[in-house]
Structure 1
Amino acid sequence: MKPDEHSQSLLTLSLLAILIGIMGGIASWGFRMLIGLIHNFLFLGEFSPYYDANVHTAASPWGVWIILAPMLGALVVAWLVKNFAPEAKGHGVPEVIYSIHYEGGKIRPVVAIVKSLASSISIGSGGSVGREGPIIQIGAAFASAVAQWVTLPVHQRVTLVAAGAAAGIAATFNAPLGGIVFAVELLLVSISATTLLPVALAVVVATHTGRFLLGMTPAFDIPALQMPTFEQVPFGELMIFIPFGLLMGVVSAFFVRGIYWAEDRFDSMPGNYYTRHVTGMFFVGVIFYLFQHFSGHYYVQGVGYATITDLLNGTLGNPWFLLLLFAAKMLATFLTLGSGASGGVFSPAFFLGGTLGAAIGQFAQMLFPELSIEPAAFALAGMVAMVGSATGAVITATVMTFEMTRDYNAILPIILSAVTAYAVRKRLSPESIYTLKLIRRGQPVPEGLQAAIDVARQVRDVMTPQFRVVSDGDTAQASPQIGLQFQGNRIQGVIPPQVTLPTDASPQPYVVVSPNEGLVEAMHRMNLAEVDYALVSDSAEPYSVESIIGILSADDIARASRKTADLLR
């Protein structure tokens, strides 16, 4: 812990989490109002913040000139990102993960402001991105600012960052369980009472605040899906979701790789950020204008929730048109994010999985009329399979989709499709859409939870109990054993293995730890002191030779980690 950092009690951390939850709920409401304000002004010429994304936008009075809307948005987004916060570019979640693993949870406060503006403009002007990634980054940035203001140490700061991110996504989707599971699956580095309580408190308060400001209805309010009836899915129909999941895994891997392929293509184009982003958004504008002109709705612009609502209501029944929507949305998302927009990938992935799933459901209904196949069930399963496999957050996607639709009957097909798709994506593309961005920058992070065995270990479980003792002034011959140099019964330093004193080196510095101390805490103390050795003592006089019962070295820790690796393969 740095001198200016102060560890706080769990009660204080919980109170800060409540504050972050309030801020997350208000930020979610404000972000949606800002999106509505920009969208209504650019598409309809109206100055109003009220915008229901689940309802199709009316035809713009600008006609074909609506193509200029995403281009104008691109100019402003590029200016904001380039001049104030480069971290605001893209889908946001990788930057939060990076801050946790590489920056100790520190996020510049300006990121919250710039991300709010840039993402609301990208979405409101018609870009094919979602609002979940931005609100995650916005909530995390608010939480980081609070943690830095209170001067919390790293482990408490990253907990609050995860709490802020979870609060943002929970309030945005009215999905408190999904918010908690998202933090557990992707953000928290350990799961315990001291990490889970602040996250849960922030999520509950943010969801309550969001419901007060935005209402109680689920994200996709489809009454037919919320019928409190429970039906057994026929076994034959259930088995169809295995090959369906295999297909969704392949599509997910293509989606993950395709976004960064598009990003590379735009980066290699002549010109600068402004010209590349405007070019990409010009083609996005052309795509959604053509849909409006020939089919009556913009369909692929923005978050796409209106189209998803149509899928779940069963009002889009032509499988070939659904495949066209799928291909157009994929292209629009590649153009939007690849050229440099600011926005999330959850919503595009929901759209892609939903349209492809509904199309396959329609085809399956034609091929197997004897089965009671519901295309809406395939749409739901496709949404979860696409989001879960692309992001690596399978449980989050499953729980969140249930909270967003309140449809429990589709849970078995959803689980079967999602885990199958995830396994296939993992095989074809080992990195998720989040971790791949960091890998490309040379910043590897884990995907998913790992067994936290080191947290459960104590120093006595890893230390070396054998060591030799050498008096100060004596010659210590090279030996495979670690040695202690002492003078007058006081320890002067540690003699590394295979070192001859005084010819090879001088004794090494050390810290003193208790045998019952946690291994992680001991590692933390060694790291702060910048030493490779910790002397293990269970005595009130820890600096005497007689009190030392073992030595914990960096090599001991490395050996323990190698054994842990066998469990994590």
Structure 2
Amino acid sequence: MAADAQPSTTDEKPLNLWLLAVLGVFTGVIAGVGAWGFRMVIGLVHNVLFLGQFAFEYDANLHTAPSPWGWAIIFVPVIGALIVAWLVGNFAPEAKGHGVPEVMDAIYYHDGIIRPRVAAVKALASAFSIGSGAAVGREGPIIQIGSAFGSTVGQLIRMSSHDRITLIAAGSGAGIAATFNAPLGGVVFAIELLLTAISARTLMVVSAATVTATYISQRLIGVDPSFNIPALEQPVFQLDRPEVLLLFIPLGVIVGFLSVVFIRGIYGMEDIFERIPGNYYTRHALGMICVGVMMYILLRTTGHYYIQGVGYASIMDVLQGVLTNPSLLLLLLVLKLLATSLSLGSGASGGVFSPALFVGATGGAAFGHLCMAMFPGLEIDLATFAIAGMAASIAGSTGAMLTGIIMISEMTQDSTVVLPLILAVSVASAVRRGVMRESVYTMKLIHRGHIVTEGLQSPFLGMRWAGDVMAWNFTVQGEGATVPKGITQTILVEKDGQVVDIYQPASQVEPGQSPETTRYITICERDDLPTVLHAMDTADSDIALVSRNPTASTASDVIGVLTRSRLMMVLQQQKKLL
């Protein structure tokens, strides 16, 4: 008897759009409140460990006062490291690192399933990492927190994997928007990096979550942009001197190479620490005592810790023209790269967004000094180079070009430098991709053997019907008839109207498989190809018979044959268009 399977492939039917939108709003509420709560916990940890004060208020845009612990401040990052190692090692190993690769892995390889406990463990572990001085950001954790909640909702309420992934992307975008007060940036981040399909349905859900989270964040945290900077000297970029725009090409090249150093530094340091004898506790403590030493030396020599935590105070110094010494800018760039690599490489929990902003700001400002020395009549504020460097660093390291452009514009509320910003972002992204294909998010997945596409791609496979690509050249013969050798077309063997055997030409048979099979599925010509592939996998079949009446599955109703080899041919054609 022929094995048959119906083409229904989704684990559950898609939810009603309005119900899904409501769940998106609910996810946005959690992301908004979570972003505020996460900041409060970071503030408490930071104040207790650095200043010995039990207080939640902590403005990351202002430098931390020198600690009363004196030289013992070196061991504060170590205390945080031991707590992080205990939390991550015992409760949620996926909370280690910067988080976004784990979200992408869940989307592309685990049907959007993220353990609920990840949100709590990630929040606590990242709060202790950032609060104790690890050179990491708070955006990666809130992305993982928001996505974990979206996934949890998607597991509690029966829905398709696609809808669950949409909620994950909504939670991630909402977290980004709430953290940086950048709603457009949050939406674009979800589109560029997390959504597997972009449509009015998915955008509605992501937008609902993002708007909700941003509104709540503004009510709880404030409406000010992430970085308040003075007005640039030129209210509109110098359109009368187009040659000035060319300066942002070499800036993009430099930041592109810095992005390569940034990515390879993090994962190279991770490999180094894995080879050091000991365990998670000792390795992470070793990495963080190195960061502590750098912090203390900077405090004694410059008066500020500079590289500790998210580093927003240092970025503010650059943007407001307080930090202008080119040598110090370059020193801080190098030390931040090293501190971030030591923090994440040894096992900290935190994001890479903020360190990338730091690298872009200091590198951009240092390049601005060089340009002013070479062209004394140049009338561009250093903040212009710093802002363009920040956007280019985000785009180069993460691969999210649109996110870099839009988010930095929102975070600084400065739209006067859009032209140089776009130019620097494009060049930096091209340089990084020319040197290495992997971004800071995808490299970890590549190491696991998991491939994730970078950039928006049209779903050509989903735009083809089975009837568009099926083979028409097949014949039907009765049971008992002799099947000739060297057949050139598929032969269906029928008995009492039912297909009982299928013979394929040798050219269409995979190595090691028999040309004869009884395992097939019946589908209709209006089934899309992803549906067909899933149905074939479910039935463990390599052949789909396209039928006018799939429920009856009689030989007389068959109008075409679709094999895996033919589907692979369609995929090869699609690849040429990407």
Question: Normalised by the size of structure 2, how large is the TM-score?
Answer: 0.94
Find the residue that maps to 1:356 and give its secondary structure: helix
Query: Among residues 221, 230, 236, which one is paired with 2:236 in the alignment?
Result: 230
Find the residue that maps to 1:224 and give its secondary structure: coil
Q: CA deviation at 1:104?
A: 0.7
Matched, 1:400 2:407: yes
CA distance in 2, matches of 1:519, 1:441: 28
Question: Could you tell me whether the CA contact under 8 Å between 1:485 and 1:507 is conserved in 2?
Answer: no
CA distance in 2, matches of 1:426, 1:260: 17
Which residue number corresponds to residue 498 of structure 1? 506
Which residue number corresponds to residue 80 of structure 1? 87
What RMSD, in angstroms, separates the aligned Cα atoms of the two structures? 2.0
CA 1:514–1:123: 2 relative to 1, 3 Å: same
Alignment of 1:149-548 (within 5 A): 149-224=156-231, 229-233=235-239, 234-478=241-485, 479-498=487-506, 506-539=516-549, 542-548=552-558
Question: Could you tell me whether the CA contact under 8 Å between 2:47 and 2:54 is conserved in 1?
Answer: yes
**Which AA in structure 2 matches 1:508?**
T
CA distance in 1, matches of 2:179, 2:386: 21
Q: CA deviation at 1:493?
A: 4.3
Q: CA deviation at 1:152?
A: 1.9
CA distance in 2, matches of 1:468, 1:541: 21
Question: Could you tell me whether the CA contact under 8 Å between 2:524 and 2:550 is conserved in 1?
Answer: no
**Which AA in structure 1 matches 2:539?**
A
Which residue number corresponds to residue 69 of structure 1? 76
1:303-338: per-residue Cα shift (whole Å, max 9, x none)? 000111111111111111111111111111111111
Find the residue that maps to 1:171 and give its secondary structure: helix
Question: Could you tell me whether the CA contact under 8 Å between 1:485 and 1:491 is conserved in 2?
Answer: yes
Identity %: 50
Find the residue that maps to 2:231 and give its secondary structure: helix
Find the residue that maps to 1:399 and give its secondary structure: helix
CA 1:541–1:218: 2 relative to 1, 3 Å: closer
CA 1:430–1:451: 2 relative to 1, 3 Å: same
CA 1:435–1:285: 2 relative to 1, 3 Å: same
- Structure 1: any 5+ residue segments left out of the alignment? none
Find the residue that maps to 2:577 and give its secondary structure: helix
1:90-127: per-residue Cα shift (whole Å, max 9, x none)? 00000000001111100111111110000010000010
CA distance in 2, matches of 1:398, 1:540: 50
CA 1:4–1:560: 2 relative to 1, 3 Å: closer
Q: CA deviation at 1:562?
A: 0.6
Pairs aligned (count): 565
Query: Among residues 530, 547, 561, which one is paired with 2:571 in the alignment?
Result: 561
Find the residue that maps to 1:205 and give its secondary structure: helix
Q: CA deviation at 1:525?
A: 2.3
Which residue number corresponds to residue 41 of structure 1? 48
Q: CA deviation at 1:299?
A: 0.8
1:38-83: per-residue Cα shift (whole Å, max 9, x none)? 0111111111111110111111111111111101000000111111
**Which AA in structure 1 matches 2:242?**
F
Which residue number corresponds to residue 134 of structure 1? 141
Q: CA deviation at 1:228?
A: 11
CA distance in 2, matches of 1:202, 1:106: 19
**Which AA in structure 2 matches 1:442?**
G
CA distance in 1, matches of 2:39, 2:244: 39
CA 1:18–1:228: 2 relative to 1, 3 Å: farther
Question: Could you tell me whether the CA contact under 8 Å between 2:505 and 2:515 is conserved in 1?
Answer: no
Q: CA deviation at 1:3?
A: 9.4
CA distance in 1, matches of 2:19, 2:234: 41
1:428-484: per-residue Cα shift (whole Å, max 9, x none)? 111111111111122222222223111211112211112111212323224121222
Question: Normalised by the size of structure 1, how large is the TM-score?
Answer: 0.96
